[in-house]
Amino acid sequence: GAVVSQHPSWVICKSGTSVKIECRSLDFQATTMFWYRQFPKQSLMLMATSNEGSKATYEQGVEKDKFLINHASLTLSTLTVTSAHPEDSSFYICSAGGRLMSSYEQYFGPGTRLTVT
């Protein structure tokens, strides 16, 4: 159990275009989903937290108008990078939080590598 998928696994886009990344919890309901970003040779940095049906909470320094998050259902969250620029090139990883058996845990997706040219 506890499978989280992301789509696409990698994407190349031109500067100025928008890219949407999907995150799905396949076998459990995710009350909360998280989006992280990881630059080369660095650790994961939390970008935002979203609860199903409500607005996302963004970490300091993350532009909410640039990184649009939608969490419309308990199994799907999307991250849209709007007007992407080369500095947005990164590894984007989502995690889904949900209750499996007796504990509440977070499970990570495989990540999406975004390259903006």
Partner 1 sequence: DAKTTQPTSMDCAEGRAANLPCNHSTISGNEYVYWYRQIHSQGPQYIIHGLKNNETNEMASLIITEDRKSSTLILPHATLRDTAVYYCIVRLSYSGGGADGLTFGKGTHLIIQP
Contact residues for partner 1 (CB under 8 A)?
2, 4, 6, 31-32, 34, 36, 43-46, 49, 59, 91, 93, 95, 97, 103-111, 113
Least Å distance, CB 76 to partner 1, is 17
Q: Which two tokens stand for residue 25?
A: 């919890």
Q: State which residue, 14 or 102, has the beta carbon closest to partner 1.
A: 102
Provide, rounded to whole angstroms, the least separation between the CB of residue 16 and partner 1: 27
CA gap 25, 74 in Å, rounded: 8
At closest approach, how far in Å is the CB of 111 from partner 1?
5
Which lies closer to partner 1 via its Cβ, residue 30 or residue 84? 30
- Pairing of the two strands 90-100 and 112-116: antiparallel
CA dihedral 93, 49, 75, 109 (to 10 degrees): 20
Nearer to partner 1, 83 or 104 (CB): 104
Residue 44: CB minimum distance to partner 1, A: 4
Quote the strand ranges of 52-111, DSSP E: 57-58, 67-73, 76-81, 90-100, 103-108
